[in-house]
Chain A
C-alpha cells in the first residue's frame, strides 16, 4: 500500500492482505540499503493471522519516494509518523540490523505507543568499517558485494533457501543495488556509524523485547546483541546456530517460529 508521510509517498508491503484498521499493527523495518522484500517470509504469516503487517520501505529506498534520512533519530521519528499516518495509536516493531537501531530509538522515544519490540541481528551500536563506508558513499558496487559476503554465515554462503529455487546472496545483492548505492547504503551506513545513543535508549525500554541473534553473525556479533539485550528489562534472547546476519533469509522458518510465539503472546492478534 502507499500513503504519505511528510508529503512523501511511502510504500509498505501489507503481506498480501488489505490494510484493516481494526487489526493490531506490526511494522517491520529493514536494514541498511535494503527494502521491504527482506521480510517476505515473515510478513505474509502475520498478515494472514490477524495483524496489519507493514513492511515499510524507508524514504528513498525500494518503492518509497523522497531522500534517505540521514540519522537513526530521524528514522525513529519517521517510524512514529508512519504509525500516525496509517491511523493507529500503537504498534509492535520488528527491526533487522540498522532497523534495530531505528526501532530501539523509536521505542525509547515513544514508549506509550510501542507495545513489543523484536530485534534481529541487533546491537547497541554498529560502527562501520571505514573502507566499506567509503565504498558505499562513493557508489562502488563492491560495497554491496562485501556486505552480502559478511552478512551471510558460512552455511548461508552455500544457499539452501527455504523458498525453493531462490538464491539469497544474489537476491540480497539485487535488492541493495535496486537504487543508487550512495543514496541508500551510503547514507544508511553513515547514519549507523554516527549513532551513539543505542545503549542509553535501550535502558528506557519497558515493553516486552525479543532479540534474535546468530552465532555466525559477523556484522552484529552475539556478544554485542547480548550486551544490548542486557540493558532492556526482561528482554528475551534467542540464538540461532550456523547462521549469519541475514537470519531472516538464512533461517527464515526459525525466525518466524520464534517471532510468532513472541508477538502473539505479547500483542495478540484480532481473533477472526
Chain B
C-alpha cells in the first residue's frame, strides 16, 4: 500500500452546478425537477402554536408572500450560494433592494458616503429622496479612494458604490475602500449588477453587502424586474455602538437583538422581518422563476457577453467615428490593472464611447441602428444602446452630469450575445447616419 498522504479536497458544488441546483431539493417538492412557481399569497398553519412560532421567528417557514415565498426563497438561496454569502433577500427591483438596504442600516440623522458614478435613479435616491428621511449622503468620485476616508463622519453608517460605475466604467478600488470602511467600523455595500457573481465575488474583496438588479445579466433576457441584497456574514455589528437597530432589543419582535440572535445572517433577517413587513417591495414568484431560468445559463451567457464586448472594444477603438472608448479591457483604461485583479473572468459587457459630432451625432446614431435596441435597460441578451445625457441621466443638471463623469457625446452600449458581425454591421448603419445627421435622421 502506498504511504502517500491523501490530499483531501472539499466536494462542495461549484459555480456552474450551484447555478442550476442551489436552494432547491426536488424530493421536498413532489419530485418536480423544475422549481415550482408557488403562486399563492399565504400558507396554512398547522395549528395556533405553529402560527405563533412562525410569526415570532421561532421556526423557519412561510407566512405571507410579501415576507417570503418558496419560489423566491430558492432564488435567494441560489444567489447567496453563488456570491459566497450567508443569506439573501430578493425584492421587486434593484432600486427597492438598495432602498431596503439603506433603510435596514440607517435611521434619521445618519450619513452615508456614496460613489458619485451610479445609475441615475440611484443618484436621485441618495441625493434627493433619502434626505427626506433624514439620511444625508456625501458623494465621492469612485477613483478618489482617499476621498472616501475623508468623507466619513461620526454619524456615517456605511459606504455605497457600484463596483464599475454606470455609465463611465470607473472602478472603485474595492479592497482599499473596504479597509477604509472597516477601519471606521462601518460596512461596505456594493452594487455588483454589472459583474454578476460570475465576473466578481465582492465578498472576496471586502464587501459586506452586495446588491444586484437581477433584472439585468442575472435574469438576462429582458423579461422580468427583480433585485436582491446578499449578506457576506463577516461584518461584526456588535463591534461598536453605531448600529443600535441591529444590536439593541427590537420592540417589533419581543425585544429581539438581530445581531445577537442571527449573527452572520442578522442583516438579512432584519431586512426581511422589518423591511419587507413595513415597506413590502416583494418579488413575484413568477418573476423569481424567470430570473432562476436566467441564472441557469449565467456563466454560458457571461462568457459570450464578455467576448463580444472585447470584440466591440477593438472595433470601436479603430473606428473613424469614435472619439474615445471606455471599457476596463482597454490597456490605457485608468483601471485596467485593477480590473484584471477584481474581474478575472471578464471585464463585463458595458462599454461607454464618445461619438464624434457630439450630441447630434449621438442622437442620429441611436435613431438609426436597427438591431441594437434603444431602451433604458442593460444586461439583456440583446444589444442595447442609449444616450445617457438625454435618457437615463436626463434628470441631472449640468454640474451633476459632469460630477458623475458623463458627457453629451457618450453612448452607453450593453453588448448582447448576437453574432458579433451582425452587431458591427448594425453599428456601421448608425455611424453612417451620425456622420450625416441631417440627411439620414428619421427625426
Residues of A within 8 A of B (CB): 13, 15-18, 35, 37, 40-41, 44-45, 48, 63, 129, 131-132, 135, 142, 145-146, 148-149, 155, 157-167, 169-171, 174-175, 178, 242, 252-253, 256
Q: Which of B21, B59, B87, B238 is the one whose CB lies under 8 Å from A166?
A: B87
Residues in B with CB closer than 8 Å to A159 are: 22-25, 77-78, 81
Would you give the shortest CB distance from B218 to chain A, in whole angstroms?
16
Partner of B72, one of A37, A160, A164: A164
Q: Nearest CB to that of B236 among chain A residues? A: A178
> Can you add 15 more A-B contacts, CB < 8 Å, to A35-B263, A48-B53, A163-B87?
A16-B253, A44-B56, A131-B8, A146-B10, A158-B22, A159-B23, A159-B81, A160-B77, A164-B272, A165-B88, A165-B90, A170-B86, A171-B87, A178-B264, A253-B60
The A-contacting residues of B in range 35-75, CB under 8 angstroms, are 52-53, 56-62, 68-70, 72-74
Known: A45-B58, A256-B59. A169 touches B255 (CB 8 A): no
Complex contacts, B257 vs chain A, CB 8 Å? 16
Instruction: Report the 5 A-B pairs with minimum CB-CB distance, sorted nearest first.
Output: A162-B60, A165-B76, A164-B68, A163-B60, A174-B233
Q: What per-residue 1/0 map shows which CB atoms of B238-281 lie under 8 Å from chain A?
A: 10000000000000011111001111110011001000000000
> Which residue from chain B places its CB closest to the CB of A1 in the assembled complex?
B260
- Once the chains bind, are A171 and B6 in contact (CB under 8 Å)? no
Min CB distance A219 to B, Å, is 14
User: For the side of the interface on B, what is the size category?
Assistant: 35 or more
Known: A160-B28, A163-B60, A165-B268. A129 touches B8 (CB 8 A): yes
A to B contact number (C-beta, < 8 Å): 150
Query: For residue B52, which residue of chain A has the nearest CB?
Result: A48
Docked-complex contact A252 and B264, CB < 8 angstroms: no
User: For residue B268, which residue of chain A has the nearest CB?
Assistant: A165
- Contact between A167 and B58, CB atoms less than 8 A apart: no
Nearest-Cβ distance from residue A133 to partner chain B, whole angstroms: 11
Query: Residues of B contacting A162 with CB < 8 Å?
Result: 59-61
B292 within 8 A of A: no
Interface check B80, CB cutoff 8 A: yes
Chain B residues closer than 8 Å to A145, beta-carbon distance: 10, 12
Indicate with 1 or 0, residue by residue over B405-417, a CB within 8 angstroms of chain A CB atoms: 0000000000000
User: Is B89 part of the binding interface, using a Cβ–Cβ cutoff of 8 Å?
Assistant: yes
In the complex the two chains form, what is the Cα distance from A171 to B83 in whole Å?
12
Whether a CB of chain A sits under 8 angstroms from the CB of B27 is yes
The residue of chain B having its C-beta at the shortest distance from the C-beta of A169 within the complex is: B12
- Whether B60 pairs with A160 at a CB distance below 8 angstroms is no
**B11, B256, B263 pick with most chain A CB within 10 angstroms:** B263
